[in-house]
Amino acid sequence: MFALFAFGPQFYNPFGKTPMAILHLFDAFVVIITFVLEIVLKGKEEELAALLIILRFWRIVKLVEGELHF
């Protein structure tokens, strides 16, 4: 959410000038879907939704990659 306010919607536009914007868009999608599923689902379904948390580790990969490029 902070990236949306700080950089604007063009930060997530895969056809714009932002490098790797498609990965930013994918990351935002995963975070939002995971948050919604954690709130809505209960029981066994919640355990299945927890598998999406693994995709949130993608954020760590992006952070490390970002630090390596600077």
- Give 47-60 as a 3 state SS string: HHHCCHHHHHCHHH
- pTM higher than 0.75 for the full model? no
pLDDT, residue 41, reads 80
The position carrying tokens 């056809």 is 15
Domain ranges (residues) in the chain: 2-69
The string of pLDDT tens digits covering residues 9-65 is 888 888 888 887 888 888 888 788 888 888 888 877 777 677 777 767 777 777 777
For residue 19, give Cα distances in angstroms to 25, 43, 48, 55, 59.
12, 40, 32, 21, 16
Cα–Cα distance, 63 to 42 (Å, whole number)? 31
